[in-house]
Chains A and B, each alone.
Chain A
Amino acid sequence: MSTSKYTVTQQAMEDEWLEVQAAQQNPAKFRVLYKRYYEPIFRFVYKRTIDEVLAADLTSQVFLKAMQKIDKYVFKGVPFSAWLFRIASNEIAQHFRKQNKNRVVALEERTAQNIEDEYEDKEDLDINMSLLKSVIQDLKPDEVELLELRFFEKRPFKEVADILDITENNAKVKIYRLLQKMKKRFVKQKRSD
């Protein structure tokens, strides 16, 4: 799991908004935000590239973009980090698109079990890595992103929603549907094996 420093209390978000406003006036004051979020953003990028040098490069690009666009940032009751994660997500997608390469998805051994644990009715399921890989290959990019945020990185629904710029309810419904879709594929794949 990433070392999430997700600010969730209203007070913390408002305090951070003051820091963002200071950075809008004077870009040198961005340093405090950079220091706070460098590691979470780096890990976010690394999980989606599994290449330390590339992750460093893209992370640097994310913060450069953030500094260039910070004057447009408006506080909407959402932590500042959600905005950074969104920039990171776009940078990663843009990188793979420009390189014309398939995007990296990192799986850990325990992930298959974690996914299986999401289902109450596990009778027809026996999710192993090979099955999970084959089901992921069939998913759309936005579904893979949901999977990563919610199940690989174990982020709360609110954080998933903020990063994707959707409502918390919408995030829940999307994740619920994704699990149902994956379950059908797990069962189908298992039967065809």
Chain B
Amino acid sequence: MKDNYNIKTNPPELSSEQISKHQDFDALFAKFQEAEIPPNGETADSTPVRSINEEKKLSPIFKYGTGALMAVAASVLLVFMIRQSMSNGNFIVPTDQINEVYALQAPMPSIQKPYANLVVTEAEKGETLNYESGSKIIVPASAFVDETGKPVKGKVDIQYREFNDHVDMFLAGVPKEIDKHQNLQSVGMMEIQGFQDGKAVYLSMDKTLEVELQGKVAANIPTSDLKVYVYGKQEDTWEYSAADNVEVLAASTINGTSAGNNGNNASNTLAASKTTEELIQEAKRTLARSQPKQPIKPGVGENMQVFDFDINIEEFPELAAYNQKVQLMASADQMSEGIFDTLWNSMELTGLGDDKYNMELIYETNEGNIVRTFEVYPAIENTDRANKVYLEQLEEYNIRMEQWEADVLVEVQDMREQEAIADNGDWKEIVNRFKINRFGLWNCGKEIEFENALKVNANFVDENGAAIAVNKLFVTNKDKQLYYFAPNTANKSTAELKYEATAENKIWALTEQNELLVANDSAPKGESVSFQMRSVGIVKTEEDIRNVLTF
């Protein structure tokens, strides 16, 4: 048995009294007010920094001394600004957004995916911005405010970039540390910031930007599983934002050949081998057991023969539900005169489901039994009471049937996606549609678990077998479209590494001097695993990195 969950059987129940003793709104409120004061100096006037200049390292004393001083000064400044704005203009200061301003820590600052500068010409009017990948950002009128909460007018520069694969994420320094951040199988990620005259702007509290982010997802992932996350600096976690509203554009094969109808309603194209009607019928068969049962109309239809039987109600409890004398009826067309002229020895009734029964009339002879079989249905006596019950049940049935038909359509959509996988390849090209309420790093994806992850003590050696110190360690798992890095490698030749050995992985590292090492081979060595690292040297371009890190 696997050991993925800590299962506890029959845990003790807690009473309401036990729970209420923990309840303390005043303490919570005090904590809330405490947390509302910005925690450090990265406040109102801190402009996002997008690179770290390794050359300008400060000595610890100078760094902490200056940092503390700046923190105090900035806090004072912020409090002052809040008071000013509250008293002068009744604007709401975007404190939460200011506290979340985050600079990605790129491991190789000289190689970065550049930002596109998208311009909103008149912020008060709004605009739709287009990125080279085909992604769109719809900016409504008066979407931006400054650090005091005052509406921003005129030209606003939107700095925007997308991270499409593990190389992009690695170069940007996306926070994806294993066991610290969620393992997000990313299907589209973007970073967005806004500036006016070089100064940060924020989103107005009552506005959101609509984003249509191009992406791709492994074909075996149902798009209904995808969600949108935003990176939260304060909690250092990917915060869930909303469900991802995904449109599938096309499925493509492993070599990228498009099989869909880009931009159009691809679902018809994807499921070309089966008609919609065929898919609906298949979905109905799949969901047949959850289909609501139509109530039985009281009375006996034309051309039906009614039988009175002494039925063992314990054997057929569903018939007892009618709470009246049970009769069964069958189509008279099935009957011949001989049926009524025969003195049958016995009768067997078998339930077929959906209020249908199989009735076998058995006549025993020395030469064997003569059996006549009929399909029969319960007959309800046609009374006012029965008709009232029937109408109530019919109303409920119609509502449940409407829901069931909607379930069938969801199933059809899923089947189309599945069919696209089977017919057309490994990836689905998609558009992730979502709304953002602040600038920052947004990620569409699915949280996944490592099913067969190995946790190993890794030793790193060079091609001659000599121990080699690594400073930062990275992994990408192709099968799961997952990128992450190991914690605290800190210039040692050993590290704790977690990965799925059965998946197709790339493992690479940076030395303290930013020399790129790529794992060539691995071999068990005692209780650890030895990784032979090939040095690629200090790389200068993204292309060089792609040459070694692309699958």
Determine whether the beta carbon of B182 is less than 8 Å from that of A169. Answer: no
Contact A105 B6 (CB under 8 A): yes
B8 A50 Cβ-Cβ under 8 A: yes
- Knowing A27-B29, A97-B182 touch, does A109 contact B225 (C-beta < 8 A)? no
B10: which A residues are within 8 A, CB to CB? Answer: 107-109
| B116: min CB distance to chain A, Å | 27
Which residues of A in the span 85-113 have a Cβ within 8 Å of any Cβ on B?
A: 86, 90, 93-94, 97-98, 100-109
Judge whether A104 and B6 touch: CB under 8 Å: yes
Complex alpha-carbon distance, A167 and B245, angstroms: 11
Identify which of B2, B29, B180, B414 gathers the most chain A CB atoms within 10 Å of its CB: B29
Q: How far is the CA of A102 from the CA of B4 in the complex (A)?
A: 6
Determine whether B243 belongs to the interface, using a CB cutoff of 8 Å to chain A. yes
Q: In the complex the two chains form, what is the Cα distance from A112 to B185 in whole Å?
A: 33
In angstroms, Cα B29 to Cα A27, docked, is 8
Contact A38 B224 (CB under 8 A): no
* CB-based contact A144/B5 at 8 Å: yes
* A103:B237 contact, CB within 8 angstroms: no
User: Contacts A170-B410, A172-B407 given: A71-B11 contact, CB under 8 Å?
Assistant: no
Check: B167 CB closer than 8 A to any chain A CB.
no
Residues of A within 8 A of B8 (CB): 50, 104-107
Whether B6 and A39, one on each chain, are in contact in the complex, defined by CB atoms closer than 8 angstroms, is no
- Tell me, yes or no, whether B35 is within 8 Å of chain A by CB: yes
- Knowing A31-B25, A140-B449, the reply to whether A98 touches B7 (Cβ < 8 A) is no
Q: Give, as a whole number of angstroms, the nearest-CB distance from B34 to chain A.
A: 10
Known interface pairs A63-B28, A86-B240. Does A136 touch B5 (Cβ–Cβ under 8 Å)? yes
Whether A107 pairs with B410 at a CB distance below 8 angstroms is no
**Do residues B4 and A137 form an inter-chain contact, with CB atoms below 8 A?**
yes
List the A residue with the shortest CB-CB distance to B92: A71
Closest to B22 in A: A56
Q: What residue in chain A is nearest B27 (Cβ atoms)?
A: A60
B interface residues, tally (CB under 8 Å):
53
Q: Is A64 an interface residue (CB 8 A)?
A: yes
Across the interface, name the chain B residue whose C-beta is closest to A46.
B14
Task: Type the 1/0 row for A117-142, where 1 means its CB is closer than 8 Å to any CB of B.
Answer: 00010000000010001101111111
Does chain A have a CB within 8 A of B190? no
Cβ contact of B6, chosen from A43, A102, A141, cutoff 8 A: A102
Q: Taking CB as reference atom, which chain A residue is nearest B32?
A: A67
Give the shortest distance, in Å, between A56 (CB) and chain B (any CB).
Answer: 4
> With A64-B32, A67-B28, A166-B243 given, is the CB distance from A141 to B449 under 8 Å?
yes
Q: Which residues of A, 126-163, contact B by the 8 Å Cβ criterion?
A: 129, 133-134, 136-142, 144
CA distance in complex: A12, B344 (Å): 63
Q: Which residues of A contact B447 (CB under 8 A)?
A: 93, 141-142
- Interchain CA distance A107-B10 in the complex, whole Å: 6
Q: A100-B179, A137-B5 are in contact. Are A50 and B11 (CB under 8 A)?
A: yes
Query: A35 contacts the other chain (Cβ, under 8 Å)?
Result: yes
Known: A68-B96, A106-B8. A34 touches B25 (CB 8 A): yes
Is the CB–CB distance between A42 and B22 below 8 Å? Answer: yes
1/0 per residue A157-184: CB within 8 Å of B? 0000000011111101100100000000
**Structural contact, A35 and B25, CB atoms closer than 8 A:** yes
Q: Evaluate contact between B290 and A176: CB separation under 8 angstroms.
A: yes
A56 to B14, CA, bound (A): 12
Which A residues touch B409, using CB under 8 A? 169
Task: Give the docked Cα–Cα distance between A43 and B13 (Å).
Answer: 9
Asked if A38 meets B2 with Cβ closer than 8 Å, knowing A60-B28, A166-B243, A169-B403, the reply is: no
Contacts of B18 in A (CB 8 A): 52
Contact of B6 with A169 in the complex, beta carbons under 8 Å: no
Q: Give the CA-CA distance A55 to B261 in the complex, in Å.
A: 50
A165:B242 contact, CB within 8 angstroms: yes
Is the beta-carbon distance between A169 and B406 smaller than 8 angstroms?
yes
Main secondary structure of the interface of A (DSSP, over half): helix
Query: Is the Cβ of B410 less than 8 Å from the Cβ of A138?
Result: no
- Whole-angstrom distance between the Cβ of A145 and the nearest chain B Cβ: 11
Is B31's CB within 8 Å of the partner chain A? Answer: yes
Q: Mark B287-305, 1 if CB is under 8 A from A, else 0.
A: 1011000000000000000
Please tell me if B53 contacts chain A, counting CB pairs below 8 Å.
no
* Contact A165 B11, CB 8 Å, known A101-B6, A134-B1: no
B196 near A: Cβ within 8 Å? Answer: no
Chain B residues with CB below 8 A from A134, complex form: 1
Known contacts: A50-B11, A64-B31, A97-B180. The answer to whether A90 contacts B3 by CB under 8 A is no
A65 CB to nearest B CB, Å: 8
B362 is an interface residue with CB less than 8 A from chain A: no
Flag whether A59 is at the interface (Cβ < 8 A). yes
Query: Residue A72 at the B interface, CB < 8 A?
Result: yes
**In the complex, which of the residues B23, B240, B449 has the most CB atoms of chain A within 10 Å of its own CB atom?**
B23
Chain B, 11-54, contact with A by CB distance < 8 Å: what is the 0/1 string? 11010101110110101110110011000000000000000000
* B227 contacts across to A, CB distance below 8 A: 165
Contact among B7, B28, B205, B237 with A64 in the assembled complex (CB-CB below 8 Å): B28
B437 within 8 A of A: yes
Contact with A along B210-234 (1 / 0, CB 8 A): 0000000000000011010000000
Chain A positions within 8 Å of B12 at CB level? 50
Q: Mark B389-407, 1 if CB is under 8 A from A, else 0.
A: 0000000000000010011
Top 4 A-B residue pairs of the complex, sorted by shortest distance between their CB atoms? A56-B22, A137-B2, A50-B11, A102-B6
Given contacts A34-B23, A63-B28, A108-B11, 17 further A-B contacts (CB under 8 A): A3-B16, A30-B25, A52-B14, A60-B22, A64-B31, A71-B205, A94-B237, A98-B179, A103-B6, A104-B6, A107-B9, A136-B7, A137-B1, A137-B7, A168-B403, A169-B406, A169-B410
**Which residues on A are within 8 Å of B, measured CB to CB?**
3, 27-28, 30-31, 34-35, 38-39, 42-43, 46-47, 50, 52, 56, 59-60, 63-64, 67-68, 71-72, 86, 90, 93-94, 97-98, 100-109, 120, 129, 133-134, 136-142, 144, 165-170, 172-173, 176
Enumerate 13 A-B pairs (CB-CB under 8 Å) in ascending A order: A30-B29, A31-B25, A38-B23, A43-B14, A52-B22, A71-B205, A98-B180, A106-B7, A108-B9, A142-B447, A168-B403, A172-B407, A173-B411
List B residues at the A interface (Cβ < 8 Å).
1-12, 14, 16, 18-20, 22-23, 25, 27-29, 31-32, 35-36, 96, 179-180, 182, 205, 224-225, 227, 237, 239-240, 242-243, 287, 289-290, 403, 406-407, 409-411, 414, 437, 447, 449
